[in-house]
Amino acid sequence: MTLIYRNGGGEIWTAAEAWGFDYYVYGVTRSGDPKVCPSEGMAYEVAASAL
């Protein structure tokens, strides 16, 4: 996994999978679980919605 964005408590990580890439957004849920997004653009939208 590679960190591609960090702002305060939010982070976006990317992971190469057999079918392409998944984007994991941390810091947007109360439980601390990541949100998994299929595209980088969607990951940034999810991160922005948590502000």
**pLDDT digit string (tens) for the chain, length 51 residues:** 999 999 888 899 999 989 899 999 999 988 889 999 999 999 999 999 876
- Give residue 51's pLDDT: 62
* DSSP state letter for 9: T
Residue ranges of domains in the chain: 2-49
- CA–CA separation, 29 vs 8, rounded Å? 14
pTM attached to this predicted model: 0.87
- CA–CA separation, 38 vs 50, rounded Å? 18
Q: In this structure, are residues 23 and 13 in contact, taking their beta carbons and an 8 Å threshold?
A: yes
Q: In this structure, are residues 2 and 24 in contact, taking their beta carbons and an 8 Å threshold?
A: no
pLDDT digits (tens, 9 = 90+) for 13-24: 999 989 899 999
